[in-house]
């Protein structure tokens, strides 16, 4: 059956939700058990793909949040004391459950966010990969042993779990970013309270329904708890809560500043993944076929709603006209449509507000001297002769800009790309680094010297720097995150597990003497 056939749409969506354990009117609060009557309001969740209501979610309020934290606090000592490799085995069961649900969960992600089906399923695969990574990590939570200057002493460093941590996720990756935090934090011995985006609670509920029975069967229900609610109610309560030593938050720079203010005010820790304003440098010696394909996905993937989306393409002046033609032709071939439809590359923006903001931003770009050379307009679509409602479709835009335009410094969460010319690599790197954000960057070149300069300390100032590959699609093995207004946090791979732990330096004296460090004598 085709989910796009309007006569079957509602029935098939209900069946999809049922397979994922979600009722049409679903509580968005899970701690000891699913709260039957949350204190928040019911919220209709509408697909940006066609304007259809998917389900109604009963949001939680502060008291529901407090119950969730209390549940996590009660189970935490037991979870903390479970050996890390055994915690890893439980996460491995979750990976297997996600594999079994990948098609359904990926479809729900596509319906709820508007990203194409390949990206929806890819997000679930990323969760599986992170879980597999966490399983291996559960046997590699290494400390250090260091030589002591005192005879008969051993100096070492070890790591202990923080406790109950908070996780706030954004709409564009409604499941994967939670897994970056939750699976790593869990094998480290922590519990996680999750506040998902208000726009994508169904995905969060589905993930909770997949993971919760595994924890319950092992006697650890409450390691992962969920509270769907608004930012002013649940989000503010979470960030101000001294019971949570760490808040991991993904979203806009403005949101991150508010989280940092509240958490910093209580001397808690933050792990922030915020805005990106990512540039790709195209040198005259770049391979055009490789570069154009990478630029297209980087700019148009997820309809430009990735923090790693390419916002600026920096073109060396000698090839700028040539690349403008290449890019205009490539952008013109992008198929726009329902995210579940085969061969569609660009689905809708998340809502009509995003469409409006994109149009307003294009107006400001024109006022500042920029020229829209392709796309940018809203698109009316139909499927099988019937209109796709929702009004969230746009044509990806290419804009000829200068690096001095104020609009270039802003992250516009939509498929709008500034084309900016430069003369030499030093100028290109300066343009790359000129914006407030510092998440992802890329260079396309056949020159080893240019690539090495881009990766050197005087090169890109971003947390991610790629050569001959775009800015999106990071692998889970490398730590993900950026600098400056991006927040400085690192998640997922490498040694990012340390963010969820407290470091302890320990000294053991096995002698009968008591020498002091630095040669200090203090004898009675």
**Residues with catalytic roles:** 273, 307
Count the residues in the chain. 524
Tokens of 146: 């260091």
Instruction: Give yes or no for a contact between 408 and 418, defined as CB atoms under 8 angstroms apart.
Output: yes
Q: Round to whole Å and give the CA distance between 432 and 360.
A: 25
- Locate tokens 């460093």: which residue? 157
Instruction: Give yes or no for a contact between 28 and 56, defined as CB atoms under 8 angstroms apart.
Output: no
Residue 287's CB is within 10 A of a number of other CB atoms, namely 13
Half-sphere exposure at residue 356, Cβ-oriented, CA atoms within 13 angstroms? 4
Angle at 229 between CA 197 and CA 266, to 5 degrees: 90
Nearest to 374 by CA among 410, 331, 405: 331
Nearest to 372 by CA among 394, 396, 333, 398: 398
Write down the H helix ranges in 101-152. Answer: 102-113, 117-137
Nearest to 269 by CA among 488, 80, 34, 519: 488
Nearest to 187 by CA among 72, 85, 289, 63: 85
Using CA atoms, how far residue 285 sits from 173, 400, 451, in Å, is 35, 21, 12
Backbone angles phi, psi at 399, to 5 degrees: -130, 125
DSSP SS3 for 10: helix
DSSP string, 455-513: HSTTS--SSEEEESS-SS---TTSEE--EETT-S--EESTTGGGGGEEEEEEEEE-SS-
Q: At 348, which helix (H) or strand (E)?
A: none
């Amino acid at each position: 059956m085709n989910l796009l056939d309007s006569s079957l749409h509602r029935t098939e969506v209900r069946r999809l939700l049922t397979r994922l354990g979600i009722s049409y009117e679903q509580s968005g609060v899970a701690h000891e058990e699913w709260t039957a009557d949350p204190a928040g309001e019911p919220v209709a969740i509408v697909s940006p793909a066609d304007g259809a209501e998917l389900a109604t979610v009963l949001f939680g309020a502060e008291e529901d949040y407090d119950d969730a934290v209390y549940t996590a606090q009660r189970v935490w000592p037991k979870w903390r004391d479970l050996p890390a490799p055994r915690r890893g085995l439980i996460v491995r069961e979750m990976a297997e459950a996600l594999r079994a649900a990948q098609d359904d969960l990926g479809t729900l992600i596509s319906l709820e966010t508007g990203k194409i089906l390949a990206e929806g399923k890819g997000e679930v695969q990323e969760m599986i990969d992170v879980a597999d990574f966490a399983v291996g990590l559960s046997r590699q939570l290494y400390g250090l042993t260091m030589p002591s200057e005192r005879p008969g002493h051993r100096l070492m460093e070890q790591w202990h779990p923080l406790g109950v941590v908070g996780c706030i996720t954004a709409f564009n990756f409604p499941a994967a970013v939670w897994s970056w935090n939750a699976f790593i934090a869990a094998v480290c011995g922590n519990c996680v309270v999750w506040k998902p985006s208000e726009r994508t609670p169904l995905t969060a509920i589905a993930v909770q329904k997949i993971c919760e029975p595994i924890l319950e069967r092992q006697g650890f229900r409450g390691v992962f708890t969920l509270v769907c609610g608004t930012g002013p109610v649940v989000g503010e309560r979470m960030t101000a809560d001294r019971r949570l030593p760490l808040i991991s938050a993904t979203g806009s720079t403005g949101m991150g500043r508010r989280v940092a203010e509240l958490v910093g005010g209580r001397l808690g820790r933050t792990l922030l993944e915020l805005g990106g304003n990512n540039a790709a440098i195209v040198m005259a010696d770049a391979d055009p076929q490789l570069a154009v394909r990478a630029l297209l996905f980087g700019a148009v993937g997820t309809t430009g709603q990735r923090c790693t989306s390419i916002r600026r393409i920096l073109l060396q002046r000698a090839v700028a006209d040539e690349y403008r033609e290449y890019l205009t032709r490539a952008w013109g071939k992008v198929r726009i449509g329902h995210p579940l439809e085969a061969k569609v590359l660009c689905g809708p923006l998340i809502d009509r507000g995003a469409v409006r903001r994109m149009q307003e931003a294009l107006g400001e770009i024109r006022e500042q001297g920029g020229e829209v050379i392709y796309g940018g307009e809203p698109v009316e679509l139909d499927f099988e002769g019937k209109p796709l409602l929702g009004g969230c479709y746009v044509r990806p835009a290419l804009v000829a800009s200068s690096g001095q335009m104020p609009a270039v410094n802003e992250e516009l969460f939509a498929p709008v790309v500034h084309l900016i010319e430069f003369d030499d690599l030093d100028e290109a790197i300066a343009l790359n680094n000129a914006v407030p954000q510092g998440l992802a960057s890329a260079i396309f070149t056949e020159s080893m010297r240019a690539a090495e300069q881009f990766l050197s300390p005087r090169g890109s100032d971003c947390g991610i720097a790629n050569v001959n590959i775009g800015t999106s699609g990071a692998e889970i093995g490398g730590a993900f995150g950026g600098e400056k207004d991006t927040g400085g946090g690192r998640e997922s791979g490498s040694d990012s597990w340390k963010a969820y732990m407290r470091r302890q330096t320990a000294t053991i004296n096995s002698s009968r003497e008591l020498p002091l460090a630095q040669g200090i004598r203090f004898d009675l």
